[in-house]
Amino acid sequence: MSEQSSSFKAKSTVKAADKEHRRKINFNIARYNAVVPVGKQQFTDVHLAREQAKNVKWKAIETLDQQLQTFEEQISKRGAKVLWAETADDALAEILKICTEKNCSTVVKSKSMVTEELHLNKFLAKHNIESVETDLGEYIQQLDDEPPYHIVTPAMHKSKEDVAKLFTEKLGTAPNLTPSQLTLVAREKLREKYTQAEIGITGANFIIADEGAIAVTENEGNGRLSASYPKTHIVIVGIEKVIPSLTDLGLFWPLLATFGTGQRVTVYNTIIAGPKQVTENDGPEEMYVILLDNGRTNILANPKTRESLYCIRCGACLNACPVYKNIGGHAYGTTYSGPIGSVITPHLKDLGDWKHLSYASSLCGNCTEVCAVKINLHELLLENRHEAVEEGDAAFAEKITWKVWKQAMLSRRIMNTGTGSMKNKVVNGLAKSWTQHRANLDFPAKSFNQLWREKSKK
């Protein structure tokens, strides 16, 4: 058992028994579930819209090299510099190089799960560069020295009382502030950081190939400030975020808003196509776009799991997953949690160390049902399990158990051997790891085959 697997089991066991934690999560997800159906009403046929989005992403991923080359050519014409990073270390080295050139001491950061993937804040801190999260949820998590809990709502597991207590401890505010007052405190602190920062770092929800631009979706305006106020803007984005055309946003923006937060469209939707031009008064003087691989081409090379690159990070599968709702985001121990995280993490990292995430699923299919771009997530989880076994990452005892089970299932004589009570004693006695957190298996007195034969004789 890998260290990651042991950590996951320990954390998930604790969180699953934490009733207060589950209450907070279920409260927030219930609010999400109440508004999503309202958002879906904007679509004449929401299933058709999802199918069309899947087809667009299919085209983008199947021609990924061409799309990215077109993007680089187009955005470079307007003065942006495109950098390619094969690994996390490559991306960090490029960012540090830019920061050093600009004598940067403060960075403001917004809208980027990829920077969490790189552990950018800790990296910059080691080089005496302050990195400040400007998204309210991310800012709360940074104050608490925790990673994001959820792809879309980073502080979902915290109540307003938790946040008030945190602000009191870290910022010295009064302990009884309301959510609105807490937001104003954060706003005051962050506005000051925008004026101090030499560099703004953002992610991108979409890379627009034909226009040579990136699209950022947000609800607070912090993304626009991070991208435009500092003199230098760095975009760090995974190569899978590409869409072929600017017109595709007419489909993807409403889908992302509805399946992400239940909105018809998010408050701020920004297209950035380069640094400030000669005829423009506002914007950064320089813009860098770092296109990150970091294991994504491993998924691209796999024809069965390639579909997972269609993900637009709406977080709907997390909100639908019964496992996630019981154990939360931090138990997964990785940047991307929930069903999509369980699918892609074993390929972004090491399958042997992370295959356990693909088993952290009920295979109910609810994640597939709610996916904005109809990724067959539950099938991909099964595919991960299959690949783990094929690559020899299954334990010896597990292999023997399934081999015996297979032989028994292929033999009707063996299946009919013994009474139900006898099978209960044998199986429950041997499968102690299975029954440790589950009820004992209860076999019927007679199998269906035996009952059918008796009925046929009569």
pLDDT digit string, tens, across residues 441-450: 888 888 888 8
Helices 338-348 and 377-390 cross at an angle (nearest 10°) of: 30
Between CA 222 and CA 227, with CA 226 as vertex, the angle to 5 degrees is 120
**pLDDT for 458 beyond 80:** no
**pLDDT for 452 beyond 80:** yes
Residues 242/309, Cβ–Cβ less than 8 Å:
no
How far are the Cα atoms of 73, 369, 392 from residue 376, in angstroms, in the given order?
A: 34, 8, 25
pTM beyond 0.75, yes or no: yes
Give me the pLDDT at residue 163, please: 96
Exposed / middle / buried, residue 44 (Cβ in 10 Å: 0-12, 13-18, 19+)? exposed
pLDDT digit string, tens, across residues 141-189: 999 999 999 999 999 999 999 999 999 999 999 999 999 999 999 999 9
Distance from C-alpha of 360 to C-alpha of 333, rounded to nearest angstrom:
13
Distance from C-alpha of 151 to C-alpha of 203, rounded to nearest angstrom:
13
**pLDDT for 56 beyond 70:** yes
Report phi then psi at 280, rounded to 5. -105, 150
Of 272, 289, 270, nearest in space to 280 by CA: 272
**pLDDT for 2 beyond 90:** no
- pLDDT bucket at 404, cuts 50 / 70 / 90: confident
Give me the pLDDT at residue 220, please: 93
User: Which of 211-225, 252-266, 326-340, 397-411 is predicted least confidently?
Assistant: 397-411
Within a 10 A sphere around the Cβ of 72, how many other Cβ atoms?
20
- How, if at all, do strands 268-272 and 213-218 pair? antiparallel
**pLDDT for 109 beyond 90:** yes
- How, if at all, do strands 232-238 and 286-292 pair? parallel
Distance from C-alpha of 140 to C-alpha of 121, rounded to nearest angstrom:
14
How far are the Cα atoms of 32, 76, 308 from residue 260, in angstroms, in the given order?
A: 9, 31, 17
**pLDDT for 15 beyond 90:** yes
Structure-model confidence comparison of residues 429 and 286, the more confident one: 286
Give me the pLDDT at residue 12, please: 93
Distance from C-alpha of 111 to C-alpha of 109, rounded to nearest angstrom:
7
Average pLDDT over the chain, rounded to an integer: 93
Average pLDDT value for residue range 373-387? 95
Structure-model confidence comparison of residues 281 and 99, the more confident one: 99
Give me the pLDDT at residue 102, please: 95
Pick the CATH number of 42-294 from 2.40.30.10, 3.60.130.10, 3.40.50.10420, 3.40.50.620: 3.40.50.10420
Give me the pLDDT at residue 430, please: 74
How far are the Cα atoms of 18, 29, 180, 208, 445 from residue 247, in angstroms, in the given order?
A: 46, 32, 37, 9, 62
Domain limits of the chain? 42-294, 308-390, 399-457
